[in-house]
Structure 1
Amino acid sequence: METVFKFRPISFSWVALHPQPKGVILFIGGAFFGTFPTLFYQYFFERLFDEGYTIVAMPFRFGFRHWPIAISLLKEQIDLREKIAKMADYLNRTEQGKYDAEIYRNPQKYFWIGHSLGCKYITLLEFFSGEKWESILTKCAKDKREGMLMRIERSVNMIPLEERSIKGQPSLLIAPDISDTQSAIPKPLAFIAKFLDKKGWGVLPTNAQTKCFVEGSILFQLTGLISFEKDTIAGNEKDKEGDVFWFIGQLKSENKKFPILHKELPGKHLEPLGSQLGEKIVDFNPFDKFAEPISQRKLEDVTIQFLYELRQREEMLR
């Protein structure tokens, strides 16, 4: 059976089913570009599909309350596990295919990949998977504690207790941006961000609160990180004010069971974007390069390597 890279709408996501996948990648991108992931991340997805992964592209969801958005991704994964399996069964009946349906029902076959702000949602889910998340949140959020707990409880209300976790599912963060109100609104309108925060209408959890969550957690054992040398949004390994520099410090901390899995590559924040046109990757992005030769692009090779290493680590922790 010919393996065809093709996205199908399933639930609220776009899914490219590999007939015999080695794993399932759940992807959430950044603002705007992540809203149309199959268009803007086309080459990245196709390379991972060709490597043997089923790709689930979750459209970016904008909002200032990030806990409900993060938990909605968990709900989507739970929903997709059965729906993708049923789609595979359907294709086996109607197209005489040889799709492996059972792999989709196994939570341990899933990976998370985030780009930019999408990484924040994955980070919140990882933190939420720890046993002491509520006490850590109470310490970190302080006066915002009650509102956050209420939103979390309201969001997870319909999720069975045993499903409220992504523990055992490796994650790869690409140019992570732990956005808050200041970074969500253009700098010329910074006064609006200050007004929203003062009124309690700004982004929650904030950048500082999210970092506090991670610092108090013993998880993030199966987290990889890819950064870019000229990234002025997430920063790089030398930018002490950036989120990348902070994440590197966390992934090197003493409570981690494995050495840090990190690679800094040439490029800017939007490096993952692009479609193949001949022997070049074209991203049509006026804020970045217009095109680059495929031979110079390293992101997909590093991603594939990291996914393999993260799965090896996950198996060691079982």
Structure 2
Amino acid sequence: MIQFVGTTLLGTFPTMTYRHFLKSLFEAGYTVVSFPFRFTLDHWSVALDLLEEHYAVRGAMIEAAVAKGYDPGVYLDVTNYTWIGHGLGCKYVTLLEVLSSPMEVLEKHFQILGQDLATQNRQIRQLQTGLAALQNNLRSLEQRILQLTGQTVDYGQPSIMDEASLLLAPVVTDLNGAIPVKFLERFFGRRITIYPTVEQTHQLIEHSQLFHLTGLLQFARDRIAADTCQQLMQEQPHIRRRLLKGNHSEVVGLQLGQCVVDMNPLDKFIQPLTHRDLESKSLTFLQRLRHQPASVSRQSNCRASDRRSIAA
């Protein structure tokens, strides 16, 4: 199961703008769910909504398998679920990873964000309330699975623990991701703050002791994501990175005959399928991530200083 989150504007209608990429994943044998990009000033709410949708989709897949007489085992195993993000969608995927830490660990991480106490407490309360509601939904899902399959499952706390994630040209941004029109961004820039901010997001990523099943694909001619890619590798040096040819919108495109049109007239615009290797290399990379030892991702209690030795 692949869950995909696109970037600003392009991700609003992902089954159209990313059609060739998503179709290639499907044809490789994956069940693919694409979540529409949502404009908001509160990126925490998006992450919580994605986590809620994740469990709703899991329950729906299990019910569908049982109803059709299939073995639901593939949908019961959390390691069969993966995430792919593109551009700003990658910020939401990284926030899902951050939220996979225990709440008491998250509270400690918030203390280092350099924000006022009221803002810190407001965000903590938001996450506590959202995760508590998800916890109740998760227990209900476990009961439903028991009724449907006769199997007892224990998914623990709401998280994407042991689920691989692939970041395509990641961009960690705030206001220009919520308001893509430049003059509006400048007008509201001094009046509105996105939470978590860029700086806060990077601090949370740096102090997280997870991200052990995370991969990053960077494109050689991509100037939009270059800074974020470099910073992510410094913050989490065990993230696996691959460099591919192309630019930021390489993943975007529709197939017309034996070519892919990428909707960017300033770039190549159209590319023969025989010259395109993004899909095959993404699938290979994803397979390698998924077959990393699951126990590595559960070492959430190791010291931050130990993370670099694990990466090495």
TM normalised by structure 1 equals 0.80
Instruction: Select the residue among 50, 67, 83 that pairs with 1:112.
Output: 83
Q: Is 1:152 matched up with 2:127? A: yes
Cα distance, 1:279 vs structure 2: 1.5
Q: Considering only aligned residues, what root-mean-square deviation do their CA atoms show, in Å?
A: 2.0
The aligned counterpart of 1:128 is 99
Aligned length: 273
Q: In 1, are the aligned partners of 2:253 and 2:260 still within 8 Å (CA)? A: yes
Amino acid at match of 1:134: E
- Residue ranges of structure 1 left out of the alignment (5+ in a row): 1-23, 94-98, 236-241
- Residue ranges of structure 2 left out of the alignment (5+ in a row): 137-155, 299-312
Q: In 2, are the aligned partners of 1:270 and 1:288 still within 8 Å (CA)? A: no
- Would the alpha carbon gap of residues 248 and 150 (structure 1) be closer, same or farther in structure 2, given more than 3 Å must change? same
CA distance in 2, matches of 1:70, 1:28: 11
Q: Is 1:70 matched up with 2:47? A: yes
Q: What is the 5 A alignment of 1:250-269?
A: 250-252=235-237, 256=238, 260-269=239-248
- Would the alpha carbon gap of residues 114 and 314 (structure 1) be closer, same or farther in structure 2, given more than 3 Å must change? farther
- Would the alpha carbon gap of residues 51 and 293 (structure 1) be closer, same or farther in structure 2, given more than 3 Å must change? same
CA distance in 2, matches of 1:169, 1:187: 36
Q: Is 1:306 matched up with 2:285? A: yes
The aligned counterpart of 2:216 is 225
Q: In 2, are the aligned partners of 1:110 and 1:170 still within 8 Å (CA)? A: yes
Larger RCO (CA under 8 A, 6+ residues apart): 2
Amino acid at match of 2:58: R
Cα distance, 1:302 vs structure 2: 1.5
Tell me the secondary structure at the aligned position of residue 292 of structure 2: helix
Q: Is 1:295 matched up with 2:286? A: no
The aligned counterpart of 1:248 is 233
Tell me the secondary structure at the aligned position of residue 246 of structure 2: coil
The aligned counterpart of 2:151 is none
Cα distance, 1:60 vs structure 2: 1.1
Amino acid at match of 1:116: G
CA distance in 2, matches of 1:130, 1:159: 15
Q: Is 1:88 matched up with 2:65? A: yes
Cα distance, 1:191 vs structure 2: 3.0
Amino acid at match of 1:142: Q
Q: In 2, are the aligned partners of 1:170 and 1:314 still within 8 Å (CA)? A: no
The aligned counterpart of 1:168 is 162
Cα distance, 1:67 vs structure 2: 0.4
Cα distance, 1:314 vs structure 2: 3.6
CA distance in 2, matches of 1:47, 1:314: 26
Cα distance, 1:151 vs structure 2: 2.1
CA distance in 2, matches of 1:28, 1:148: 23
Q: In 1, are the aligned partners of 2:217 and 2:241 still within 8 Å (CA)? A: yes
TM normalised by structure 2 equals 0.81
The aligned counterpart of 2:202 is 211
Higher helix share: 2
CA distance in 1, matches of 2:255, 2:213: 31
Q: In 2, are the aligned partners of 1:70 and 1:125 still within 8 Å (CA)? A: yes
CA distance in 2, matches of 1:79, 1:189: 35
Q: Is 1:49 matched up with 2:20? A: no
- Would the alpha carbon gap of residues 303 and 288 (structure 1) be closer, same or farther in structure 2, given more than 3 Å must change? same
